[in-house]
Chain A
Amino acid sequence: MQFNGRNLSSRVALWVLLVLPVVLVLVVPPLLTHLDKGVTESHRAWNIWKTMSQNLPQIDAQWVVATLFWVGISVFLVGVGVLIWLALDSPSDTKSVGTAPIAEVTINVERLATNETFE
């Protein structure tokens, strides 16, 4: 499987892109709410998102609010795994490490442009 130009082990991809977001967005929140003693028994909901969507502000544009809510959840769910994977997927690159080398490279490129000897 290829991602971001690199070969991924399918196990890592499965964890980062599928399992992690599901755990973060769909399992952790209801679990926390379920364990929260501050929330009254009758209000404890295994599916916090569903409970919340049912309690969204009762205004005349509820469908707009509900759409924003569910689109937000969906994009967040899909995107969060990709984001974490992109953050993880940074191969060791000497150019990106340290600061001065970058500045030196910039200066050398400028020298090249003025036909100076590049060492």
Chain B
Amino acid sequence: MLPMAVVEADQAAELNHTFRQASNAFFGRARSGFCELAPGTDRFLWRFLAVLIAIYIAKQMLLVVIFPPFSGHDEVAHFAYVQTVVREHRVPELLVDDIPDYFYRYCQFILDWSPCEPDNERWLEQPFRFADWGAAGVFPAGEQYAANHPPLYYLLVAPAFKLTETASIERQQYVLRALSIPFGAIAVFFAFATAMLIFPGDRFMGILVSGFVAFQPQVSYEASMVNNDIAGIASMTVVIYLIVRGMKRRFGLFESVALGLGLGVALLIKGNSVVIMPIIALAMMLSIGIRRVREWVARGAVVAGVAAVVTAPWYAFLWRTYGNLDGLAQVEELQQPWNRPAGAFAELLFNRSFVWARWQETWGAFGWRRIQLSPTLLWSIAIPVLLALVGLAIFAILAVLARRRDGKLWTPSGFVRPDRFQSLALLILLLIVIISYLAVIQFGTRFILTQARYLFPVVSAVAILLALGLRTIVPLRAKSAFQGLAIASLVLLNILIYTKWVVPYWYLTDWTAI
């Protein structure tokens, strides 16, 4: 008979072995799942991505605490939306719901709750609900203006709100802000995975694309506040990934269902995801083959059907409540005292100040456009971006030339002709970016407050096109050094922005008096 200690040791060893087997199987499956999502990714790239995401999370934790409570765009309105969902088990309504009295103290960060005097004791206790706009008349003030947004983001963060209900409003806000970080990490990962789908195992593309998305200052800002924007960016990044994946596999049934589901989720997070729908149709037609009408109509019906099933309750609610499918007519009514169109479509398309304002918002304009970056820095960012666009044009020219010369074309950057899938995928990404920008302009024909952030959901497409442009012009030998330089520059850009503008503004000056 064996001594008890030996038996116990054997059992422990066996248990340990079983645990290790189970753990290996789990992590092995998880690893192969990730590898399947981003084909061709080698150990080196995984390591880079892991470090990047760790740093990204650390950076975002800093951003969450750097910005004063509720200073993000529409943060109060989105927070109040969550409050309504949790406490009243319903979605708020435009022209019906108000922003709670407590938030008047943050009136500097609330659209249209003016005159704003956060130190006025009387108004702090009982804020006014109507404001006199002179000749324009008297209009309601302090209304809930984010109510037309779809409910999914608010439902996702509702459990965290519920769990922290005993805490102060500000503490809850920090918790909800922190919950935006995983959405940002999803955007970084799927941007990387999309690049790997088109250029399997290409280190230059993998590093630059994921680095760009992780360090783009305004996309990062979105991932540190209470707002559905970053969830919208993450979901659209996944949709773009699913489009490219569908194109690669010519939209099999699984890819079509997954895309329909992704689109449905994106539409339930942010209404402007609707701009991607015509591009999905085009991607299906081009990749399946324009002449194979039956096939792409059938697969298109699957995508549209799944998305329609997922979003039907929300659109039924919008129709029943507002009589339209976006609530924008009600938003217009809400903003009646001060809103005006930014201009006509053609006028805005070629208006230099409109373009410059969007460029400013793309990189700066933190804290409700309070913190503007200097023109010197904005031009310093524009130069490499313009170079990348030139590189992209050269890539297109080389691709056409290489086609004529049967693929044989030598360049110092190691250009090789893209295959059919790659060409189509890049074309679709380009169209996604163009259509999204045109949608920003279209919104401006109705609302003065059109903003560059409506373009952020397509950040992965922008990153891939810019990285490809740079890859075309950077010589083969200099690629490794360039990758390091690019990442160091992106890190430095963030440090510059935060230490020269953001932190001094909030902490070293009396911003409440500005």
A positions within 8 Å CB-CB of B: 4, 16, 20, 24-25, 28-30, 32-33, 36, 38-40, 43-45, 48, 51-52, 55-57, 59-61, 64-65, 68-69, 71-76, 79-80, 82-93, 95-103, 106
Contact = CB atoms under 8 A, between A and B. Distances in A.
Contact of B62 (A48, A73, A79, A90): A73
Given A60-B171, A90-B479, A100 B419 contact: yes
Interface of B: 40, 44, 47-48, 51-52, 54-55, 57-62, 64-66, 68-69, 167-168, 170-171, 174, 178, 198-204, 207, 211, 407, 414-419, 421-422, 476-477, 479-481, 483-484, 486-488, 491-492, 495-496, 498-500, 503-504, 507-509
B55 A76 contact: yes
Please indicate which of the listed interface residues B199, B203, B415 has the most CB atoms of chain A within 10 Å of its own CB.
B203
Nearest to A106: B200
B503 A48 contact: yes
Contacts of A24: 488, 491-492, 495
B484 A88 contact: yes
Nearest to A93: B203
Given A38-B509, A59-B171, A32 B204 contact: no
Given A65-B174, A86-B48, A102 B201 contact: yes
Please indicate which of the listed interface residues A40, A45, A68, A71 has the most CB atoms of chain B within 10 Å of its own CB.
A68
B165 to A, nearest CB: 14
Contact of B499 (A16, A33, A55, A68): A33
Nearest to B476: A97
Given A75-B58, A102-B40, 5 more contacts: A52-B503, A72-B60, A88-B480, A90-B480, A102-B200
A99 B418 contact: yes
A100 B416 contact: yes
A36 B476 CA distance: 40
A74 B481 CA distance: 26
Contacts of A32: 496, 499-500
A83 B499 contact: no
Contact of B508 (A20, A39, A79, A87): A39
B47 A86 contact: yes
B58 A85 contact: no
Nearest to B172: A61
A82 B53 CA distance: 12
Residues of B contacting A: mostly: helix
A45 B201 CA distance: 46
Given A40-B508, A65-B65, A100 B407 contact: yes
Please indicate which of the listed interface residues A71, A85, A88 has the most CB atoms of chain B within 10 Å of its own CB.
A88
Nearest to B471: A97
Contacts of B47: 4, 86
B168 A60 contact: yes
Nearest to B40: A102
A87 B484 contact: yes
Contact of B504 (A39, A90, A103): A39
A33 B501 CA distance: 9
A71 B61 contact: yes
B48 A55 contact: no
Contact of B174 (A61, A72, A88, A106): A61
Contacts of A55: 507
Contacts of B167: 60-61
A62 to B, nearest CB: 10
Nearest to A77: B58
Please indicate which of the listed interface residues B40, B202, B204, B504 has the most CB atoms of chain A within 10 Å of its own CB.
B504
B65 to A, nearest CB: 5
A102 B207 CA distance: 18
